[in-house]
C-alpha cells in the first residue's frame, strides 16, 4: 500500500522522497511567510489587490484580453458539458477535447504576464518563502529519511538547480495539493485517457499505442515525423514522406544529372582535376621582351657650367651618399639590437 505521507522518486539511479511536513515545521513555515510578507510590504512592494491596475498600467492586460480570456473559459465549460452529456460521435468528442486543451493552453499564455507579476507581490513572495522552507526540510533520502539538505533552507537556496531539487519540487507540490498530477483532473484528459487516445503521459497515440501528432502522423519521442518499417524499426521522414537521416538530411542514392539528350553527365571530381593539373607540363617562363623606351623629347643642350659650380655639385653628391650610408648602418644596428 502506498504511503500517503511520502512520495518517492528516482534521479540517476538513486531513490529520493518528499514527505509531508510536521506540525512544528508548518508553524515555522507560517512564521517565515509572515516575516517575508512584512518585509515586502515595508519595501513598498504591491499587494495582490493592486495587481489588476498595475497590469493595465503596464499594458499587460486590457479589456480586449479580458474578453478573450472569458471567451476561452466559456468554450472550455461548453466542451466539458458536451463530454459529460455524450450522445455524439466519438471522433467529434475527441475533437471537442482537443479544442478544450488548446483553449486551456491559450489561457495559460494570456495569464503568463499576470503570473509573473503576481510572484513579485507581497503575497507571492510570502507564499514562495513558505513553500521553499517546507520543501527544503521535507526532501529526504528514500531509504533513511535523512534530510537531503543538511542546512535546510540555506542549502536549498544555494542549490535550486540541483537535479534532485528540481525533480522533488514538483512531487512535493503534488503531495501537498493532494493530486498526483494536475493533468489527471482535467475533463478533456480524462476523456482522452478513457478512450485510449493518449498514453500515461497524456501524449496522443494511435490504436497500437504509437505516438502521433495532431494530424495523426507518427512521430518519435522528440516530435519528429517517422514511418514505421516493422513492429520495432522506423525511419525519419519529412512532411512529404521522403526519407531523411537523423540529422534531417535526405537519405537517397545520387544519380548523375542528364544532358539534353538524356545521357548521364560525367562530372570531374576534385581528385581527377588535381591529377590533371599535376600531369600538365610546366611551361617554361618566357623571357620578357625589353620594352622599347619611349622617345623622350630632346632636351636643349645645357649651357656649360662654370668650374666652381661643378665642384660644388660633386661635393653635394658625396655628402648625400655618406649620409645615406650612415643611416643604413644605424638601421642595421637597431635591427640587430631588437633581435638580441
Cell of 16: 529520493
| Beta-carbon count within 10 A of 122 CB | 21
Alpha carbons 224 and 243: distance in angstroms, whole number = 12
Alpha carbons 96 and 187: distance in angstroms, whole number = 11
The residues spanned by each domain of the chain are 6-194, 203-273
Model pLDDT, residue 184: 84
- The H-assigned helical ranges of the chain are 23-43, 51-57, 63-85, 90-118, 122-138, 153-158, 163-177, 187-194, 270-279, 307-339
- With 0-12 / 13-18 / 19 or more C-beta atoms within 10 angstroms meaning exposed / middle / buried, residue 209 is exposed
Could you give the 3-state DSSP secondary structure of residue 226? strand
Model pLDDT, residue 333: 53
CA 35 vs. chain centroid, Å, equals: 37
Model pLDDT, residue 325: 54
Cell of 92: 467529434
Q: Which of 31, 54, 198, 42 is nearest to 114 (CA)?
A: 54
Model pLDDT, residue 268: 73
pTM of the entire structure? 0.63
Model pLDDT, residue 292: 41
Q: Which of 310, 331, 312, 309 is nearest to 320 (CA)?
A: 312
Write out the chain's pLDDT in tens, 340 residues.
457 789 999 999 999 999 999 999 999 999 999 999 999 999 999 999 999 898 999 888 999 999 999 999 999 999 999 999 999 999 999 999 999 999 999 999 999 888 888 999 999 999 999 999 999 999 999 999 999 999 999 999 999 999 999 999 989 988 888 766 678 889 999 999 999 999 998 999 999 999 999 999 999 999 999 999 999 999 999 999 999 987 788 878 889 999 999 999 988 766 555 555 565 555 555 544 444 444 444 444 444 454 555 455 555 565 555 555 555 555 555 455 555 4
Model pLDDT, residue 4: 77
Give the contacts of 190 (CB within 8 A, at least 6 positions apart): 184
Cell of 265: 553527365
Model pLDDT, residue 324: 59
CA 128 vs. chain centroid, Å, equals: 27
Pairs from 102-105 (Cβ < 8 Å, separation ≥ 24): 103/72, 103/75, 103/76, 103/79, 104/72, 104/76, 104/186, 104/188
Give the contacts of 174 (CB within 8 A, at least 6 positions apart): 7, 180, 181, 182
Model pLDDT, residue 290: 41
Could you report how far apart the first and last alpha carbons of the chain are, in Å? 85
Amino acid at each position: 500500500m502506498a504511503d500517503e505521507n511520502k512520495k518517492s522518486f528516482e534521479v540517476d539511479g538513486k531513490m529520493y522522497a518528499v514527505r509531508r511536513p510536521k506540525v512544528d515545521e508548518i508553524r515555522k513555515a507560517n512564521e517565515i511567510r509572515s516575516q517575508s510578507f512584512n518585509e515586502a510590504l515595508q519595501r513598498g512592494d504591491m499587494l495582490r489587490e493592486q495587481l489588476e491596475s498595475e497590469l493595465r498600467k503596464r499594458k499587460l492586460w486590457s479589456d480586449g484580453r479580458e474578453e478573450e480570456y472569458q471567451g476561452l473559459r466559456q468554450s472550455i465549460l461548453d466542451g466539458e458539458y458536451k463530454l459529460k452529456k455524450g450522445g455524439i460521435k466519438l471522433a467529434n468528442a475527441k475533437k471537442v477535447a482537443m479544442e478544450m486543451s488548446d483553449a486551456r493552453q491559450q489561457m495559460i499564455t494570456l495569464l503568463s504576464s499576470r503570473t509573473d507579476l503576481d510572484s513579485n507581490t507581497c503575497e507571492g513572495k510570502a507564499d514562495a518563502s513558505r513553500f521553499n522552507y517546507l520543501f527544503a526540510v521535507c526532501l529526504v533520502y528514500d531509504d533513511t529519511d535523512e534530510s537531503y539538505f543538511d542546512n535546510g533552507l540555506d542549502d536549498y537556496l544555494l542549490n535550486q538547480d540541483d537535479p534532485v531539487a528540481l525533480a522533488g519540487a514538483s512531487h512535493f507540490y503534488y503531495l501537498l495539493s493532494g493530486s498526483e498530477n494536475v493533468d489527471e483532473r482535467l475533463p478533456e484528459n480524462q476523456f482522452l485517457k478513457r478512450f485510449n487516445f493518449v498514453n500515461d503521459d497524456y501524449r496522443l497515440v494511435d490504436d497500437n499505442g504509437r505516438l502521433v501528432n495532431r494530424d495523426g502522423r507518427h512521430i518519435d519521442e522528440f516530435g519528429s515525423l517517422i514511418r514505421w518499417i516493422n513492429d520495432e524499426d522506423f525511419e525519419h521522414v519529412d512532411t512529404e514522406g521522403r526519407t531523411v537521416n537523423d540529422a534531417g538530411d535526405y537519405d537517397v542514392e545520387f544519380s548523375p544529372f542528364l544532358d539534353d539528350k538524356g545521357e548521364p553527365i560525367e562530372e570531374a571530381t576534385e581528385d581527377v582535376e588535381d591529377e590533371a593539373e599535376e600531369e600538365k607540363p610546366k611551361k617554361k617562363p618566357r623571357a620578357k621582351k625589353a620594352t622599347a623606351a619611349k622617345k623622350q623629347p630632346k632636351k636643349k643642350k645645357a649651357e656649360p657650367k662654370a668650374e666652381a659650380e661643378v665642384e660644388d655639385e660633386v661635393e653635394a653628391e658625396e655628402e648625400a651618399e655618406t649620409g645615406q650610408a650612415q643611416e643604413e648602418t644605424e638601421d642595421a644596428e637597431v635591427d640587430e639590437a631588437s633581435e638580441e
